[in-house]
Amino acid sequence: MEYNKIRITADQAINIAIENFNIQGTAKPLQGEIDFNFKIDATDGKAYILKISRPDENADYLDFQQKLLQYIAKSGSDLTVPSVIPDKNGSLISETKDDSGLIRKVRLLSWIAGRVWSGVNPQLDDLRYSLGEHCGKLTYALQGFDHPEAHRKFVWDIAEGDWTTEYLDLFSNGDKEVISCFQDQFHLAQPGYDNLRQAVVHNDANDNNVIVSPDLMAPKVVCAIDFGDSVYTQIINDLAVVCAYAIMHHNDPLQAALPIVRGYNNSFPLLESELEHLYMAIAMRLVISVTKSAINKKKEPDNTYLLISEKPAWELLRKWKDINADFAHYSFREACGFTAHPGEEKFKVWSQRQTFSLERLFPNIGFNEVYTLDLSVSSNWLGHEKDFNDLDYFQYILKKLQGQYPSKILAGGYLEPRPIYTTSSYDKIGNNGRESRSIHLGVDFWLPANTAVHALFDGEVVTAVNDEGDKEYGGLVILKHQGEGFEYYTLYGHLSVASATRNKVGTYLKAGDVIGILGNWPENGNWAPHLHFQIMLSMLQYKIDFPGVAYYSQIAVWKSLCPDPNLLFKTKGLVGRKTSSNSEIIDYRKQHLGKSLSLQYKVPIKMVRGAGQYLMDQYGRKYLDTVNNVAHVGHEHPAVVKAGQEQMALINTNSRYLHENINELAKELLETLPPELSVLHFVNSGSEANELAIRMIKAATGQRDIIASEVGYHGNTNMCIDISSYKFDGKGGKGAPEHTHIFPLPDAFRGKYQGENTGEHYAEEVKVQIEKIHTKGRGVGAFIIEPIISCGGQIELPEGFLAKAYQYVREAGGLCISDEVQVGCGRMGSTFWGFQMHGVVPDIVTMGKPLGNGHPLAAVACTRDVAEKFANGMEYFNTFGGNPVSCAIGAEVLRVVKREKLQAHALEVGTYLKKELMALALDFPIIGDVRGQGLFLGIELVNGKKEPLANKTDYLANRMKDHGILMSTDGPDHNVLKIKPPMVFSQENAEELVFYLGKILAEDFMTL
Ligand SMILES: Cc1ncc(COP(=O)(O)O)c(C=O)c1O
């Protein structure tokens, strides 16, 4: 039928609404595959959807949809569904005559307000759960409903999916293989699949048929619309359709499907038999979709839209094929509250009746007890990454420990999150950034090479290979065993290659037979000798390298699939270590630590290990740290750790004894400073440094009036708070004390003076404060400022400002302090200290954070004149300041900066990152300003009127954390994201940061 002849215009729709339904309003055409749909905005404020069918539409089919909606409405469920509006005559299906005189069926439904699923960004787990929950409720509400039209043959019904086999030739070879593989699975599954529960279901909750609430922070599904595809079919098909659409565009579609399954099951409990078919049903819905596209493409080869629309289905189909069907099945089971592996319970019951002494596994050892070896991310014994990756060293400490416990087997590790596997080769990019395979699935027994390993039970050899490669299994044997009505497998990794491969696949070993002997490195995969022993209830189609470690996000499934080996041994030493949960730690903090100590992020993280630019939580999740300028040369830099450990082992005293270290640190520091700043004092924190600086000012000038910047922060002590507007002008503050004089934040973006050439204006503001002090009949003590004002929101001082301000202060007899606690030690890139960017030399420089790379160490550098005046006879004693351990650490930090050319690196990476952030700002106008130097940058979020957007900044930081990237917010209006990572932050890290910033900035909550 010619489209133009049957088309309905908006004007016609308005008339139909009036004539058939007595509704006055405007009409807006909507998309519709078959019907002509209009949104009617009635004059009384109500809204409707008017659906005009094609002339030849089957009235029964329309009746089916109307009855179905009415059935749900009367079902007593709390579901929102469109209401059916009867026409003037009370008919649910009305009629009109079109211009050609043809009768057209007309339906009117109430309009459901909200956002269409496809336009919602992000679609997070909670929203997908709510989608599943809603669709499950629909299925529940439809129980008992039937209609002859529900039993029509329908190409989109997964149960009918066999029709696609006829069209296999439309696909090229690779694609054909993917499709036919699923078609074959579908075929094979038929007998069980046919017997599954059937009912009338929605069957089309695709991303244009789901309405989501307007809430941008915690959106929920409001309604599934369009019941045109409803059909009587296997109930599991309905869930399969929901999943097939909602998991497109995800790196890990299985993980994305689980909240949906969980939600559906919560409102409509699924059966185990149904979950067996879900993986295949999802695949078949996609097969139908791509086959339909291929048919349409053949019909309309020039229609580029068809190409675009099939792309995500194809992407998902290929990813889906790479997912192990059994693993998906177990994951679905776990999501629905069943044991992930169907045989887990049987294995547990059977294993309760078994007890194997460890001597059965290692008869030559002669002992049975276990000393628990803690190799978890937070293990103190494991120590530094550099150490445990040094095999000689690792072997040495193992031997020593064994010497301490000669009659025990060093063993452990079941479900232990380990740092050993957190190198990037164990990483993948999941749906929320990087994930590391860190959870150990077996038990490791650390015994000498050549120790014989014997079979615990009779078993068939199913794998006997050399699983070659660094950190692989080396010699590997897997045995298959028959339990009582179930099968299970045991895995023996890191054997000698010869002994492992002596076994032949298909042969049988008897309990007590030798399986192999422990290998040595490198042939055992490059490990200190040990046996990796693991139980599996399924092989998941792996042949040679069944995973020995898993992603934390999948731990519930893996622990069912790979039960605890200690179920067999029942040995105390193999019981996993219990650590405090995060909520326990939080509760304790709340009770016993000061309330004013805050925690970062809405959901706080427990960090247990650092490595370079990364921090790791207790599950081994690696976070990219863009915040921590304290870990200046990288978290737990090996040279710095070593310097501290070595000196700690010798002596740590105060500076009243002679020691080279204090002089060594002084020499390293003086090398970086201008000759005028030639005297040093060492202290323990930035606050202490500024506290001492102010004491020096008082001694040197006899004055106590200090000029400081608005929103400046200089430390937590009494005096420091008194000069920190960030604190006394902030929450809980009481304003500036009598002797503190604050000039406006020299912010060229949103400050008192904006744009170019503001340096002079802000310097004049400093002058205003000088005059104020004079008016009070007093003199200026000092002017203190950071070269980039950190807490103020990474505010760069305007050009010329500092030189002029210093001039005015000095003319008034005051001294100048540069607070380099945040910015110093090469971070600026172009200069080592921040003041050097401005061509000035302060009288006092305070330094802290980066100097100790995390160790409490700070310093004050000053001119000889200031130092002399300070030394007025009163001794300056500092118990810890300048101790040999701190000084060894500080000197090594400065040497690492030199050795690893980190200042030049900061310039290079910082310049690159700033350029990329500026490019991002062009795409996202919410980024009002990008500023900073080297690796000390900030981005400020504002609306079109330059108003600060604190909520969005906070959201951005929290969402970045969800993606494994740590960021912090600051500035007087909390709308600046600060970027000040450890200096080893690489260009690749910068690229990752910008990528995820772009991703989150595109989310609905971030739009202006
Ligand atoms: C600029 C500035 N000065 C001084 C301090 C105080 O240093 P600390 O916390 O080591 O006492 C800080 C701390 O954040 C700071 O940012």
**DSSP of 539-566:** -TT-SS---SEEEGGGHHHHHHHS--TH
Tell me the residue length of the chain: 1008
Residue nearest to ligand 1 atom 7, measured at CA: 686
- In the block, residue with structure tokens 């200090």: 706
Kindly state if the Cβ of 824 falls inside 6 Å of ligand 1. no
Q: Is the pLDDT of residue 670 over 70?
A: yes
pLDDT of res. 586? 94
Beta bridge pairs of residue 85: 108
Burial class (CB in 10 A: 0-12, 13-18, 19+), 172: exposed
Residue nearest to ligand 1 atom 4, measured at CA: 714
Q: Which one-letter amino acid corresponds to residue 189? A: A
- In the block, residue with structure tokens 């064994």: 402
pLDDT of res. 228? 93
Q: Is the pLDDT of residue 82 over 80?
A: yes
How do residues 896-948 score in pLDDT, each as one tens digit?
Answer: 999 999 999 999 999 999 999 999 999 999 999 999 999 999 999 999 999 99
Q: How far apart are CA 568 and CA 348, in angstroms?
A: 9
- Contacts of 53-60 spanning 24+ positions with Cβ under 8 A: 53/104, 53/105, 53/106, 53/107, 54/1, 54/6, 54/104, 55/1, 55/6, 55/98, 55/102, 55/103, 55/104, 56/1, 57/104, 57/105, 58/149, 59/93, 59/105, 60/148, 60/149
How do residues 591-634 score in pLDDT, each as one tens digit?
Answer: 999 999 989 888 899 999 999 999 999 999 999 999 999 999 99
Q: What percent of the chain has pLDDT over 70?
A: 99
Nearest in space to 233 (alpha carbons), one of 202, 198, 264, 205: 198
Q: Which one-letter amino acid corresponds to residue 726? A: Y
**Mean pLDDT estimate for the chain:** 95
Nearest in space to 135 (alpha carbons), one of 1, 243, 279, 290: 243
Nearest in space to 977 (alpha carbons), one of 954, 951, 947, 999: 954
Nearest in space to 702 (alpha carbons), one of 810, 813, 777: 813
- Give 705 Cα–ligand 1 centroid separation in angstroms: 21
Kindly state if the Cβ of 690 falls inside 6 Å of ligand 1. yes
Stretch 124-136: mean pLDDT: 98
Nearest in space to 328 (alpha carbons), one of 256, 245, 431: 256
pLDDT of res. 577? 77
Kindly state if the Cβ of 715 falls inside 6 Å of ligand 1. yes
Could you tell me the two tokens for 706?
């200090």
- Closest atom of ligand 1 relative to the 717 alpha carbon: 11
Q: Is the pLDDT of residue 3 over 80?
A: no
Q: Checking phi first, is residue 439 left (phi over 0); if not, alpha (psi -120 to 50) or beta? A: beta
pLDDT of res. 52? 95
Q: How far apart are CA 62 and CA 585, in angstroms?
A: 59
32-36, 261-265, 486-490: segment of lowest average pLDDT: 32-36
886 near 855, Cβ under 8 Å?
A: yes
Q: Is the pLDDT of residue 422 over 60?
A: no
Kindly state if the Cβ of 848 falls inside 6 Å of ligand 1. yes
Instruction: Report the predicted TM-score, pTM, of the whole model to 2 decimal places.
Output: 0.95
CB count in 10 Å sphere of residue 687:
23
Residue nearest to ligand 1 atom 13, measured at CA: 715
Helix (H, G, I), strand (E, B) or coil at 496: coil
Q: How far apart are CA 208 and CA 248, in angstroms?
A: 13
pLDDT of res. 421? 61
Peptide bond into 406 cis (omega under 30): no
Q: What are phi and psi of 838, to 5 degrees?
A: -110, 5
Burial class (CB in 10 A: 0-12, 13-18, 19+), 878: middle
- Closest atom of ligand 1 relative to the 849 alpha carbon: 10
CB count in 10 Å sphere of residue 799:
15
To test ligand 1's pocket by mutation, which of 630, 682, 687 has the most ligand atoms within 8 angstroms of CB?
A: 687
To test ligand 1's pocket by mutation, which of 822, 825, 855, 857 has the most ligand atoms within 8 angstroms of CB?
A: 822
CB count in 10 Å sphere of residue 579:
13
Per-residue pLDDT band at 579 (split at 50, 70, 90): confident
Helix orientation angle between 759-775 and 801-811, rounded to the nearest 10 degrees: 20
How do residues 50-65 score in pLDDT, each as one tens digit?
Answer: 999 999 899 999 999 9
Q: Is the pLDDT of residue 250 over 80?
A: yes
Q: What are phi and psi of 55, to 5 degrees?
A: -60, -35
Could you tell me the two tokens for 541?
């189609």
| Contacts (Cβ under 8 Å, ≥6 apart) of 434 | 427, 428, 622, 624, 964
109 near 49, Cβ under 8 Å?
A: yes
Kindly state if the Cβ of 276 falls inside 6 Å of ligand 1. no
Per-residue pLDDT band at 863 (split at 50, 70, 90): very high
Q: Is the pLDDT of residue 743 over 60?
A: yes
Question: What does the DSSP 8-state code read for residue 282?
Answer: H
How do residues 168-213 score in pLDDT, each as one tens digit?
Answer: 999 998 999 999 999 999 999 999 999 999 999 999 999 999 999 9
Q: Is the pLDDT of residue 544 over 90?
A: no
pLDDT of res. 5? 79
Nearest in space to 846 (alpha carbons), one of 881, 818, 871, 826: 818
364-368, 533-537, 657-661, 940-944: segment of lowest average pLDDT: 364-368
- Give 720 Cα–ligand 1 centroid separation in angstroms: 9
- Give 970 Cα–ligand 1 centroid separation in angstroms: 14
Nearest in space to 450 (alpha carbons), one of 362, 354, 534: 362
Half-sphere exposure of 245 (CA within 13 A, CB side): 19
Q: Is the pLDDT of residue 423 over 70?
A: no
Stretch 32-50: mean pLDDT: 92
- In the block, residue with structure tokens 């000698």: 496
How do residues 266-323 score in pLDDT, each as one tens digit?
Answer: 999 999 999 999 999 999 999 999 999 999 988 888 877 767 779 999 999 999 999 9
- Closest atom of ligand 1 relative to the 791 alpha carbon: 16
How do residues 802-852 score in pLDDT, each as one tens digit?
Answer: 999 999 999 999 999 999 999 999 999 999 999 999 999 999 999 999 999
- Give 622 Cα–ligand 1 centroid separation in angstroms: 27
Q: How far apart are CA 492 and CA 107, in angstroms?
A: 67
Number of helices (H), then strands (E), belonging to the chain: the values are 31, 41
The enclosing H or E element of 534 equals: strand 531-536
pLDDT of res. 1? 60
- Give 713 Cα–ligand 1 centroid separation in angstroms: 7
- Closest atom of ligand 1 relative to the 848 alpha carbon: 10
Q: How far apart are CA 511 and CA 361, in angstroms?
A: 10
pLDDT of res. 424? 66
Name the pairing type of β-strands 705-709 and 788-789.
Answer: unpaired
How do residues 207-237 score in pLDDT, each as one tens digit?
Answer: 999 999 999 999 999 999 999 999 999 999 9
To test ligand 1's pocket by mutation, which of 682, 713, 847 has the most ligand atoms within 8 angstroms of CB?
A: 713
How do residues 580-592 score in pLDDT, each as one tens digit?
Answer: 899 999 999 999 9
